[in-house]
Structure 1
Amino acid sequence: MKLKLLLGTLMFTAFTAHAQVATINENFESFTTGTSAAWPQNGWSKAAPPGAGPFVYAEGTTDKVIQFYSLMAPNTAAYLITPQIIAPDGTKSLTFTYAMSAGSGGTGTLQVGLISTANTAGTAAFTSISQVYELNSTTEQTVTITVPASANQYIAFKFIGAAQHTALYVDDVIYNASSSLAVSDTKKSEDQIKFALTADHTALQFVSKTEPRKIQIYSATGTKVAEGKLKNQRFDVQTLQTGVYFVIIEGNEGKITKSKFIKK
């Protein structure tokens, strides 16, 4: 994603209470973009020190994301905070996609944790629930982690840029019941089978040395919605509704690869 240098100032807004939610499925398409947009948005909040960064804001047009941007404040944490969730009991998982923005001025880190309230004061209680993800590539990574039982009712994405003008984005956040699809805090490896949606969003186009043995597709709630084999290196998804889907790919040697895609 192309990095846009910030020319405006960040507008700070008071936190507005929202009802607790049991699940989250957010692609940020309804968010107002730009650093001057009023927050909270759709129950989501952000926390960052005042001054010349770091900033947290919605960015994009047809595929919006939440952008983190260090600007002139390297090594300073900024947070994206979910709506208040029902106190987690350890039965749900969190899935999200992240990457460095193209044009980023440096590398950074991302970590997920639980906090007590949706503001800067609440971040003092940040308790990590994930590894520290090193942000040094514009290739999107998708991870799934288990959210442990806790009295803290907000999930926070903590970003720290190692240099000025470091930027990354987060997208497609899903908090729901754990299922057999969950992969514990694991990045996509470089040797996984690669695929992409065709331009008309009717099929998954695969690129691999050997054709996978079987494809299974699950909805965001863990329901199997499709299963079968490839035909001419394609798997038909034209009957699927708009949404986020998980894919289990079984290779010829029995190796299982897990990924996801967004049907539009």
Structure 2
Amino acid sequence: MKIRLLFAGLVLSAFTANAQLATLNENFESAVVSTPANYNNMVNGWTNKKVVDRTVYIDQATGNKYLQFYAGGSAATDVFLISPQIVAPDGTKQLAFTATPTAGSTLEVGLIDDPATLTANSGVPASYQLLQTYVFSDTNTPVITPFTIPASSKQYIVFRFRNPQLMGSPFPPPGPSHAALAIDNIVYNTAGNLSVSDDAFTKNNAIKFAVNTQNTALQFVGKVQPKTVEIYSAAGQQVAAGKVSSSNFDISTLQSGVYYIFIETTDDKAVKSKFIKK
């Protein structure tokens, strides 16, 4: 009996180690962020290729955890965040995420068949498949909109942080680069399911909401009615606020992206959640 149990345990371990995920929904909230800082805090199968500890790690601010890319004092920093292994993309799923820059840098999103072929500060191998490029600067913050991952045999999504720009005073050229880029709310799923998980919200089933089919309003349902809402961008700026009318709140003026929402209910409770406007 012990032999059978041991064999079953080994089979289960092998199956778990090779599990491929059909979807991803990562907000990094399960990571441990300690003081002093623990820079080796990847979670849920995500991995990194970095130069030093502080160039790719999970950090937090104002109660929200996120993946932080940091130049580490070098304008040549070229590092990677790698997803857990996914089922080979068939071209039917989209990728959505938020990106909040500090100074300028370049972010690439690509696919790779073997993460072992990636080495920080060494470029990319021929097998690397580039999908999207975003260039951040003091005057440009690109809008991150969901895009389709094409059919491919490569089973790892890669976020590549490179070309950090030298910051101004008190770090003028040729001083060190302190550019950074925060990545959060990574969702890989079909277009109709690009929603960010929020445990605190799902546990409170008294109030629920969804973006309407026209993508112009939030529609609220539940035992408790919302009284007012405040909506914030991924960068923490308030972009909308007001009262809910007939269980609807207008979001027609918002750009595509991920937003935080604070809801005050009619029984004077506060609920925090997130949503994606496509």
For the aligned pair, the TM-score class normalised by the smaller chain equals 0.5 to 0.7
> Which residue identity lines up with residue 258 of structure 2 in the other structure?
K
The letter for the 2-side match of 1:162 is Q
CA deviation after TM superposition for structure 1 residue 179, in Å? 4.3
* Residues 193-227 of structure 1 deviation map (CA, whole Å, 9 limit, x = unaligned): xxxxxxxxx9x9xxxxxxxx98334xxxxxx877x
Percentage identity across paired residues of the two chains: 32
Question: Structure 2 matches for 1:9-88, cutoff 5 A?
Answer: 17=17, 19-33=19-33, 36-38=38-40, 40-49=42-51, 51=52, 55-60=55-60, 62-88=63-89
**Counterpart position of 1:258:** 256
* 1:134 aligned partner: 136
Task: Give CA-to-partner distance per residue, 1:64-122, whole Å, 9 cap, x none.
Answer: 01110111322231111111110001100000000113xxxx41111100011234538
Deviates more, 1:118-127 or 1:170-179: 118-127
* Unmatched runs of 5 consecutive residues or more in structure 1: 1-15, 182-201, 205-212, 218-223, 240-246
1:236 Cα deviation (Å)?
3.8
Cα distance in structure 1, aligned partners of 2:33 and 2:139: 24
Which one of the candidate residues 181, 199, 202 is aligned to 1:168? 181
Change (3 A) 1:120 1:33: farther
Residues 137/176 of structure 1: CA separation in 2 closer, same or farther (3 Å cut): farther
* Structure 1 counterpart of 2:115, from 112, 115, 118: 118
Q: Retained in 2: the 8 A contact 1:99–1:140?
A: no
CA RMSD of aligned residues (A): 4.0
- Structure 1 counterpart of 2:191, which letter? S
For residues 29 and 249 of structure 1, what CA distance do their matches in structure 2 show?
26
Instruction: State which structure, 1 or 2, has the greater radius of gyration over its C-alpha atoms.
Output: 2
Amino acid at match of 1:94: L
3-state SS in 2 of match to 1:150 = coil
Q: CA deviation at 1:137?
A: 6.5
Alpha-carbon deviations, 1:134-184, whole Å to 9, x = none? Answer: 244697944211111111101011101133111111011110013498xxx
What is the distance in 2 between the residues matched to 1:29 and 1:97?
Answer: 15
More helix by share: 2
Contact 1:24/1:173, CA 8 A, preserved across alignment: yes
Q: Which moved more, 1:146-155 or 1:114-123?
A: 114-123
> What secondary structure is seen at the aligned counterpart in 2 of 1:60?
strand
Q: Residues 30-75 of structure 1: CA distance to partner in whole angstroms, max 9, x if unpaired?
A: 11236644455211011124x5x77100001520011101113222
* Alpha-carbon distance change, 214 to 145 in structure 1, aligned in 2, over 3 angstroms: closer
Question: 232, 242, 265: which one pairs with 1:234?
Answer: 242
Q: Which amino acid aligns with 2:150?
A: P
In the alignment, residue 165 of structure 2 is paired with which amino acid? A
Match of residue 12 from structure 1: none
